[in-house]
């Protein structure tokens, strides 16, 4: 069972690390040659479930574990040494924060506000209260960076290059009419061979997904395109991807921070929309040294792994402030506004190396 191997509770889109024996058994290729037992019929499902070992090797697991995104980084010797220094010195955290912001601001033409939001986005992760897939998502933060009509593919590449040098998992998905209409982005079951067919949206947790809408032009979405847009909306809004089993759809919860890069405000319901000034991504040609990058990565790992709490005194201030805002603007200040505010407050606290929210940070 999975519990014996240390792989209990793994999900469809988890990354795992195993110790085992890689083996091949020629007998498993009999189905491929049609040499099943006498009187047995070889079906398409048999062929799919018993591919030759030359194509799909067999791995006999002795032990294994789920591999977390930043947990994997923290085990590197250079990162671990930096983490110890960050835990011991608040000044070191502040200095690393300033360096990280400077580095991120290069990718957005020196816009410090956009860099600040991009940093908070890199620290975002969500959870579900109660652990149920249908429970409310807490802590998600989707970001829309709006670059204006001059925002180009080169600007997107600059952002991807910078972010990709800091985080272990990143995925870019161009969003165009042709791409949306071309084929499904969601995973689905192929009943012909009784196999699950993956899709571009089936990503491991903490994979930073960048949606490039700069290629999106005028036109009409077909049925597949509409369904793809709904799949993207479900990921951004509810942090879940639905697996299509033809007769029903099964929602799979995920934790995939989404950044939408667009010329105008995206149609996807992002939590924060930032209009970026002076986008000059094409000017960035060189990355810092690996030692400098490890310092910035260590800072992100340190902030991401911090515990967090809201003291009772600060909670009272939050409640009073929310009531006042609600009285002034009841049409826009509601549960979503409060959740977004608390999420940004948590992320800002984490970026400063704080384990509890202060009134000043709020």
Round to whole Å and give the CA distance between 262 and 118. Answer: 15
On the 0-12 / 13-18 / 19+ scale of CB atoms within 10 A, 217 is exposed
Locus of tokens 């790992």: 301
Going by their DSSP bridges, the two strands 127-128 and 137-138 should be labelled as antiparallel
Share of the chain above pLDDT 70, in %: 86
The pLDDT score that the predictor gives to residue 50 is 67
Task: Give the lowest-confidence range in 60-69, 262-271, 279-288.
Answer: 279-288
Share of the chain above pLDDT 90, in %: 49
- Render pLDDT for 111-158 as a digit per residue (tens, 0 to 9): 999 999 999 999 998 888 765 666 778 889 999 999 888 888 888 998
The pLDDT score that the predictor gives to residue 282 is 46
Per the model's pLDDT, the better-predicted residue between 286 and 155 turns out to be: 155
In 3D space, the residue among 1, 19, 22 whose CA is nearest the CA of residue 10 turns out to be 1
Which residues lie across from 15 on neighbouring strands? none
Query: What are residue 195's phi and psi, to 5 degrees?
Result: -130, 150
Beta carbons within 8 Å of 123's beta carbon, 6+ residues apart: 300, 303, 304, 347, 350, 351
Per the model's pLDDT, the better-predicted residue between 32 and 55 turns out to be: 55
Q: Is 298 left (phi over 0), alpha (psi -120 to 50) or beta?
A: alpha
Burial 255-272 (b: 16+ CB within 10 A, else e): bbbbbbbbbeebebebbe
Tokens of 18: 């195993």
The pLDDT score that the predictor gives to residue 61 is 84
Tokens of 80: 């671990």
Tokens of 99: 């360096």
**Residue 173 clears pLDDT 80, i.e. is over it:** yes
Round to whole Å and give the CA distance between 39 and 342. Answer: 66
């Amino acid at each position: 069972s999975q519990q014996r191997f240390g792989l209990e509770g793994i999900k469809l889109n988890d990354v795992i690390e195993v110790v085992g024996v890689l083996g091949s058994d020629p007998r498993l290729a009999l189905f491929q040659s049609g040499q099943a037992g006498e009187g047995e019929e070889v079906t398409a499902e048999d062929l799919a479930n018993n591919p030759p070992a030359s194509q799909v090797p067999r791995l006999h697991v002795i032990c294994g574990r789920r591999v977390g995104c930043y947990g994997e980084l923290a085990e590197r010797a250079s990162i671990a040494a930096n983490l110890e220094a960050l835990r011991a010195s608040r000044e070191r955290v502040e200095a690393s924060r300033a360096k990280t912001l400077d580095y991120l601001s290069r990718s957005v033409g020196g816009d410090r506000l956009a860099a600040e939001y991009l940093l908070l986005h890199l620290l975002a992760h969500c959870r579900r209260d109660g652990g149920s897939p249908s429970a409310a998502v807490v802590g998600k933060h989707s970001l829309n960076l709006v670059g204006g009509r001059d925002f180009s593919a080169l600007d997107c590449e600059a952002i991807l290059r910078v972010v990709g040098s800091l985080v272990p998992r990143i995925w870019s998905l161009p969003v165009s009419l042709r791409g949306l209409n071309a084929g499904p982005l969601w995973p689905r079951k192929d009943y012909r061979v009784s196999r699950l067919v993956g899709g571009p949206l089936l990503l491991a947790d903490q994979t930073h997904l960048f949606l490039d809408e700069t290629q999106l032009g005028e036109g009409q979405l077909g049925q597949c395109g509409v369904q793809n847009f709904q799949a993207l909306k479900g990921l951004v809004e509810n942090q879940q991807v639905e697996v299509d089993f033809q007769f029903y759809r099964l929602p799979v919860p995920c934790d995939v921070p989404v950044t939408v890069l667009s010329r105008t405000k995206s149609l996807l319901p992002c939590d924060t929309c930032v209009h970026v000034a002076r986008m000059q991504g094409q000017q960035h040609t060189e990355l810092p040294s690996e030692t400098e990058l490890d310092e910035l990565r260590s800072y992100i790992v340190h902030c991401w792994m911090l515990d967090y709490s809201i003291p009772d005194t600060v909670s009272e201030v939050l409640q009073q402030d929310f009531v006042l805002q609600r009285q002034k603007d009841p049409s826009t200040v509601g549960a979503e506004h409060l959740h977004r505010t608390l999420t940004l407050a948590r992320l800002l606290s984490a970026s400063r190396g704080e384990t509890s929210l202060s009134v000043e940070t709020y």
